[in-house]
């Protein structure tokens, strides 16, 4: 099925229909979020399915991303001949957009406004069309998309990877269609593009920047590329020179992106519990601020930039001291930062899983209300008592297990990185400070998930 030319389109079309439904109901439907598809599907169901898909499969939602359906007409109607500007390289703009998105979500209560949610979706389609219509390759996915960056980093903990089956086959391949694209031998016309994110399969390592778009799978004339099961710890074993990325120890932008998502998992949950409201009132009084967005901006800068930077510098410096390493400190910090990704991902799974399992059935009354609004009395009156899929005790148990597994995975990843960096005799000493940091994050995550949390997207909120 994955080798079929239209496989990705078949996956994208249902998600496009759902996106259209969200936009339509967001603009013309009820303004109350739990009554509206735009208030429920993106913030309860989609986020829940995303983390579950990443956990059991990989970057499935980038594969089925409906925003990429506009790329084909964009590249036909617009020039698409510019290279991405060298003065905004890598992930720096994407990091800024991700922080702005996290801040906007809380500052403007996007989850509570179907109208704004619809505009976000429309803006996404417009941005994807404009960027990929003007720039070569998949510039929007690689350099801009906040959702894509979430998937890229957290898929480092996924059990599947797009990779080569047999490297000996690649060594004998002369056409390199996986990156160059496959052409018709008779006409020379391009019939299947290669990887638009410029990940050459023979040198590709891991899931970073991979959208599971299937282009390399379909372009390979030897059927030598596939979605293959793997041990997620393989992501951390060697500081390999990754195609399209280079060495992670030399990519400060990727390390900062990982840290924003790790600490963002805590801050995103913190914005929904009681202590944050008391803290915001205290901070506003101390600083004399009356604007909630301004107060939240300070909280997000501290929580996503200042605090992560301080903690990882302390951990890196201590690790450097304990191992008496002569390696430069900054590449050391960059490399070890990725070891925290499994624990950060576990927090995202626990948090988004909480909202999904407590609100999954809300899609039933929303569908009933929507059909009644358009004059179709097919499913009866909305059953607004429907919400939770599992009992609260079961949800609590799942959260605890997921966070514990995330901690164990981070401890294993940190040890693997330390062993590769310092050698086996100094591996435990090098990993110890990062293990302490992971334990602090784990304790904070458990405390947050134990707090009463806003039940967004349901009538219990």
Q: What is the chain's pLDDT, residue by residue, as a tens digit (461 residues)?
A: 878 888 899 999 999 999 999 999 999 999 999 899 999 999 999 999 999 999 999 999 999 999 999 888 998 898 888 999 989 989 999 999 999 999 999 889 898 999 999 999 999 999 999 999 999 989 999 999 999 999 999 999 999 999 999 999 998 998 999 999 988 888 888 888 899 999 999 899 999 999 999 999 999 999 999 999 999 999 998 898 999 999 999 999 999 999 999 999 999 999 888 888 888 888 888 888 888 889 999 999 999 999 999 999 999 999 999 999 998 999 999 999 999 999 999 999 999 999 999 999 999 999 998 999 888 888 888 888 888 899 999 999 999 999 999 999 999 999 999 999 999 999 999 999 999 999 999 999 999 999 888 766 555 54
Q: Residues 246-250: contacts with CB within 8 Å, 24+ apart?
A: 248/334, 248/335, 248/338, 249/331, 249/332, 249/334, 249/335, 250/331, 250/334
Q: Which of 229, 254, 289 is the last residue of a domain?
A: 229
- Dist CA 125 CA 82 (whole Å): 20
Please state the φ and ψ torsions of residue 163, each to the nearest 5 degrees: -155, 170
Do 138 and 174 fall within a single domain? no
Do 149 and 171 fall within a single domain? no
Do 149 and 166 fall within a single domain? no
CB proximity list for 385: less than 8 A, separation 6 or greater: none
**Which DSSP symbol is given to 110?**
G
Q: Supply the pTM of this predicted model.
A: 0.93
Would you state the structure tokens that stand for residue 221, as one six-digit string?
């004339």
The three-point CA angle 433-414-233 to 5° equals 170
Nearest to 413 by CA among 342, 339, 353: 339
- pLDDT value at residue 76: 86
Q: Is residue 2 in some structural domain? A: no
Q: Is residue 455 in some structural domain? A: no
**Which DSSP symbol is given to 101?**
H
Q: Position of tokens 């939770």?
A: 388
Nearest to 292 by CA among 283, 305, 301, 303: 283
Q: Is residue 458 in some structural domain? A: no
Q: Which of 173, 197, 229 is the last residue of a domain?
A: 229
Q: Is residue 457 in some structural domain? A: no
Do 217 and 251 fall within a single domain? no
Write the DSSP assignment of 46-100 as a string of letters.
Answer: IHHHHHHHHHHTSSHHHHT-GGGGGHHHHHHHS---BPPPTTS-TTHHHHHHHHH
Nearest to 163 by CA among 72, 250, 232, 85: 232
Nearest to 140 by CA among 130, 128, 153: 128
Residues β-bridged to residue 182: 192
Do 251 and 348 fall within a single domain? yes
- pLDDT value at residue 2: 79
The SS3 of residue 135 is strand
- pLDDT value at residue 458: 58
Domain residues for the domain of 107 are 7-156+246-450
CB proximity list for 225: less than 8 A, separation 6 or greater: 162, 163, 164, 165, 178, 201, 216, 217
Q: Is 69 left (phi over 0), alpha (psi -120 to 50) or beta?
A: alpha
Q: Is 205 left (phi over 0), alpha (psi -120 to 50) or beta?
A: beta
- pLDDT value at residue 169: 92
Do 180 and 305 fall within a single domain? no
What's the chain's length in residues? 461
Q: Is residue 292 in some structural domain? A: yes
Q: Is residue 178 in some structural domain? A: yes
Do 334 and 401 fall within a single domain? yes
Q: How many CB atoms lie within 10 A of CB 389?
A: 15
Please state the φ and ψ torsions of residue 228, each to the nearest 5 degrees: -115, 140
Nearest to 322 by CA among 218, 214, 421, 236: 421
Do 150 and 178 fall within a single domain? no
Do 322 and 436 fall within a single domain? yes
- Dist CA 396 CA 419 (whole Å): 35
Do 422 and 367 fall within a single domain? yes
The SS3 of residue 190 is strand
Sign of CA dihedral 85, 90, 96, 97: positive
User: Please, are residues 364 and 59 in contact by the beta-carbon 8 Å criterion?
Assistant: no
Do 168 and 188 fall within a single domain? yes
Q: Is residue 459 in some structural domain? A: no
Q: Is residue 92 in some structural domain? A: yes
Count up the domains in the chain and report the number.
2
Do 250 and 216 fall within a single domain? no
- pLDDT value at residue 138: 92
Q: Which of 202, 229, 256 is the last residue of a domain?
A: 229
Write the DSSP assignment of 145-177 as a string of letters.
Answer: -HHHHHHHHHGGG-SEEEEES-HHHHHH-SS-H
- pLDDT value at residue 461: 47
The SS3 of residue 287 is helix
User: Please, are residues 319 and 427 in contact by the beta-carbon 8 Å criterion?
Assistant: no
Q: Which residues of 7-33 are buried (b: 16+ CB within 10 A; e: fewer)?
A: ebeebbeebbebbebbbebbeebbeeb
């Amino acid at each position: 099925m994955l080798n079929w030319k239209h496989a990705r389109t078949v996956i994208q079309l249902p998600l496009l229909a759902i996106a259209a439904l969200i936009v339509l109901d967001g603009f013309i439907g009820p303004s109350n979020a739990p009554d509206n598809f735009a208030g429920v599907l993106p913030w309860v169901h989609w986020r829940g399915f995303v983390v579950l898909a990443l956990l059991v499969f990989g970057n499935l939602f980038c594969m089925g991303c409906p925003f990429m359906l506009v790329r084909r007409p964009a590249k036909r109607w617009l020039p698409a001949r510019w290279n991405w500007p060298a003065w905004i390289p890598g992930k720096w703009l994407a990091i800024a957009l991700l922080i702005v998105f996290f801040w906007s979500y809380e500052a403007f209560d996007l989850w509570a406004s179907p109208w704004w949610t619809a505009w976000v979706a429309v803006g996404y389609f417009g941005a994807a069309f404009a960027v990929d219509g003007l720039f070569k390759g998949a510039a929007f996915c690689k350099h801009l998309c906040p959702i894509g960056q979430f998937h890229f980093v957290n898929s480092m903990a996924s059990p599947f990877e797009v990779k080569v089956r047999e490297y000996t086959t690649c060594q004998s391949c002369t056409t390199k269609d996986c990156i160059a694209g496959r052409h018709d031998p008779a006409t020379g016309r391009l019939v299947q593009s290669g990887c638009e994110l410029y990940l050459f399969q023979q040198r590709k390592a891991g899931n970073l920047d991979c959208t599971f778009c299937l282009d390399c799978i379909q372009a390979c004339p030897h059927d030598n590329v596939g979605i293959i099961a793997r041990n997620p710890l393989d992501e951390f074993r060697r500081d390999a020179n990754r195609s399209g990325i280079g060495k992670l120890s030399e990519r400060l932008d990727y390390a900062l992106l990982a840290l924003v998502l790790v600490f963002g998992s805590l801050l995103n949950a913190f914005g929904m519990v009681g202590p944050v409201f008391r803290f915001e009132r205290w901070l506003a009084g101390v600083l004399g601020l009356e604007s909630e967005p301004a107060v939240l901006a300070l909280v997000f800068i501290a929580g996503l930039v200042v605090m992560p930077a301080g903690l990882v510098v302390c951990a890196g410096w201590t690790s450097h001291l304990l191992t008496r390493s002569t390696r430069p400190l900054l590449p050391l910090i960059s490399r070890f930062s990725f070891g925290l990704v499994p624990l950060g991902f576990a927090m995202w799974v626990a948090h988004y899983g909480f909202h999904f399992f407590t609100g999954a059935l809300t899609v039933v009354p929303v569908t009933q209300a929507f059909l009644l609004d358009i004059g179709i009395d097919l499913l009866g009156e909305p059953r607004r008592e429907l919400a939770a899929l599992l009992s609260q005790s079961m949800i609590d148990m799942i959260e605890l297990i997921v966070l514990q597994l995330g901690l164990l995975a981070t401890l294993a990843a940190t040890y693997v990185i330390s062993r590769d960096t310092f050698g086996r005799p100094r591996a435990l000493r090098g990993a110890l400070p990062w293990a302490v940091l992971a334990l602090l994050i784990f304790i904070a995550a458990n405390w947050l998930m134990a707090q009463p949390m806003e039940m967004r997207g349901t009538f219990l909120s």
